[in-house]
Amino acid sequence: MSATRRQILGRTGALGASIAFTGSIQELFAGTATADSPDPVAAGAADAAGRGGYGPLVPDPDGLLDLPEGFRYRVLSREGDALRSGEGKVPSHCDGMAAFPGRSSGRDARTHLVRNHENRKDAAIRVPAVKGLTYDPMGMGGCTALALDSANRVQSERVAIAGTAVNCAGGPTPWHTWLTCEETEDKAGTNGYTKDHGFIFEVDPYDPRRTGAVPLTAMGRFQHEAIAVDPRSGVVYETEDAFEKPFGLFYRFLPRKPLGGTGSLRAGGKLQALRVPGVADLSTVQEPGTSFSGIEWVTVPDPLAAETPIRFQDFGSGGITHAQKLEGCYWGGTSVYFVSSFAKSADGSAADHFGQIWRYDPQRHRLTLVIVFGPDTDVQLPGESPDNITLAPSGGLMVCEDGEGAQHVYGLTRRGDVYPMARGRQNIGTEDEPEWGEFAGVTFAPDRRTMYVNCYTPGTTFAITGPWQH
């Protein structure tokens, strides 16, 4: 599961328990600062004013989304409705998402959204196959793109890429495109696919036909989760959410045309994997602040994984460093942050934790454990399985919940206070066995005045406005 699925806090596996962490909460917020976002330190006054959040959630008379008083929502798009392009229906499983600025003022679109659809073969509604935008006719996933005016009215809604599979997360580029990631490594002939899957694809939110459906094969074929781009060097960092041991790797991609703009990643480059000398499994590191120098980047023998999945490949006598559930990935300040959302020895991890956030500083070649989630620590998150995350206008965070029972978007302030921001009311189960769709893809408009978020199932995209603290 924008910041991206699964971004930053990741799935934990501590069902029914509060989630807590030790480490530098201030660094967690500083890491989310970007050139287009308010400075978290300068926003401290607003954040302190909102320590109690925005007040209790008010039940929605329409039974969709409970929000604090003064906030309102608009349903932008719902699974099964007709796409405004006439290409078919709004697909299932709305997931990772990003918001991009309009290219001009006036009557043109103010905000463009690109939305992933994490469709497997059993998806109820596929992303419609559109000529020129379809990679594999048998792939059910892809992305849709929405253009919104200043009042969040939908001006257009269309297929942005189709024929891909299990489009979970991804990330934006400095040149305002979206890199959508396939969280699978199925090959042609598996599940009826006609082409290999497990790639990254670039999507232009303004004109998807500029990017088409071209796999960025040099960036590797594996169970991709998320990406982050170093805005100074153009290096792309990638996480691998492998489900079974040996677990995933943390990668960097060195483009031949760094920061070259739309389409430049097709020129290829070199894919490398992180090696922490003496550390085969990141789960064994349990003390926040632990730092490693002498980090090595080892060239991947076969990025296309023609015969052997990358994480199984031979990286030489030093081996390679693995981690369970590598999910979120984002650039903040001078470093890239990435998440191991949980580790369980019962699954084969060397140690247990409820989640880690790591920082890699490429200038100093240093890897540091910033946060460890677990019981009996200082900051408690209500609910369970925190997932997608994004920076809030106040300088705090918005976190999507992905667990059992009623699902929420929670706010987390720089002081560590937690408050409910939204609660889903889309009960899709029975009276005896209720089931709620998780939230995903939380992101803010470039002007920070609207929060966009998806309900994964039934797929729904909301625009939420109100008295956001800036």
pLDDT for the residue numbered 237? 98
At 414 the pLDDT is: 74
What phi and psi, each to the nearest 5 degrees, are found at residue 389? -150, 150
pLDDT tens for each residue of 209-248: 999 999 999 999 999 999 999 999 999 999 999 989 999 9
Cβ atoms of residues 226 and 172 within 8 Å: no
pLDDT beyond 50 at 305 = yes
Q: What is the dihedral of CA 237, 243, 245, 247, to 10 degrees?
A: 10
Query: What's the mean pLDDT in 459-470?
Result: 94
DSSP secondary structure, 289-312, as one string: T-EE-S-EEEE-S-TT-SSS-GGG
Greater confidence (40 vs 292) lies with 292
Mean pLDDT of 62-72: 95
| Residue 168: burial class (beta carbons within 10 Å; 0-12, 13-18, 19+) | buried
Nearest-angstrom CA–CA distance, 346 and 414: 34
* pLDDT of 360: 96
Measure the CA–CA gap between 303 and 286, rounded to whole angstroms: 31
Beta-carbon count within 10 A of 421 CB: 26
| Residue of 331 and 230 predicted with greater confidence | 230
Identify the three-state secondary structure at position 29: helix
Of 108 and 333, more confident: 333
Whole-prediction pTM? 0.89
pLDDT of residue 153 exceeding 90: yes
Q: What's the distance, CA 191 to chain centroid? A: 25
Domain 19-465 sits in CATH at 2.120.10.30
Tokens of 155: 């001006």
| Amino acid letter for position 192 | G
The torsion angles phi and psi of 37, rounded to 5 degrees, stand at -115, 155
Cis peptide before 101 (omega within 30 of 0): no
Q: What values do phi and psi take at 208, rounded to 5?
A: -55, -25
| Model pLDDT for residues 74-98, shown as the tens digit of each residue | 999 999 999 999 999 999 999 999 9
CB distance 444 to 450 below 8 Å = yes
H or E stretch covering 48? helix 44-49
Q: What is the pLDDT of residue 383?
A: 45
Bridge-partner residues for 307, per DSSP?
none
Residue 109 confidence (pLDDT) above 60: yes
Q: What is the chain's Cα-based Rg?
A: 21
